[in-house]
Amino acid sequence: MAQLNQLVAVIEPLKKRTAADLNKIDNGLSKADLFHGITKTYEPKDDEGERLPGEDKAVQRTVPGDLKMVSDLLTRLFDAVYTRDVANTVARADVVVDGETVLTDVPVPFLLFLSKQVADLRIRVERLQVHALDTKWTYDEGTELWRGAPVDSVRSKRVRKPFVLYEATKEHPAQVQVAEEDVALGTWTTTRLTGAVTPVRKRQLLTRVDKLADALRSAIEKANQFEFTQAHIGEGLFDWLLAE
């Protein structure tokens, strides 16, 4: 008996070889000249008549012969793919992460599907936004957001304000100059909010995704060690298909 991984390894090359061989057969199917021949002889009217050489053109291909080649090629392919697909319904493995069984008795096709999904998931986790490091964040249960410490800033307005350089006297009027100064009008209080995650949480998620990916690879390897019995379905199929 062989293991499933051995069968999986040969199916794709077998598909390519079969396709190439079938293509060669297909290229000649519409060439009528290959399937028809002739045997031509000449017999003179009497012994005195001229003797002429005969003419022969061999039949190079036959429909039954081509169908037999197609049957042989596809029988090997059908048997291999059918055996793999049947084995895939039987071969199963548990997904174990750090000694904890996350999934039980999972068939190979789903393990392969899940492995691809987890690889895509890791890309998404890598893109997660994280907290700005220049702010101290506190989780707000009510809004389910992270909240930064309030920061106050003064709202001011620049105004022109006169002031007296010299008081007026009997001889001279007062000397007044206009200057600008900032006048406080109020206070802005700014609180930063974020729906991002902490850098620690992002690293934790990446670690868990990587562990799951490793566990899936191990499960696939284990499931592919399943020993199968070669099935033979192609011959019976073509016996019916080509019956006269």
Mean per-residue pLDDT of the chain: 91
Per-residue pLDDT, 97: 96
The pLDDT of residue 137 is 95
Euclidean distance between CA atoms 91 and 4, whole angstroms: 8
Rounded to the nearest 5°, which phi and psi values hold at 4?
Answer: -60, -40
Question: Distance between CA atoms of 105 and 115, rounded to whole angstroms?
Answer: 15
How confident is the model over 57-87, as pLDDT tens digits?
A: 999 999 999 999 999 999 999 999 999 998 8
Confidence tier at 1 by pLDDT (50, 70, 90)? low
**Whether pTM exceeds 0.85:** no
Cα distance between residue 120 and residue 125, in whole Å? 9
User: For 189-240, how does the pLDDT look when each residue is reduced to its tens digit (9 = 90+)?
Assistant: 999 999 999 999 999 999 999 999 999 999 999 998 888 888 899 999 999 9
How far apart (Å, rounded) are the C-alpha atoms in residues 157 and 160? 10
Nearest CA to 80 among 7, 6, 20, 13?
A: 7
Record the tokens describing residue 170, joined without a space. Answer: 């009997």
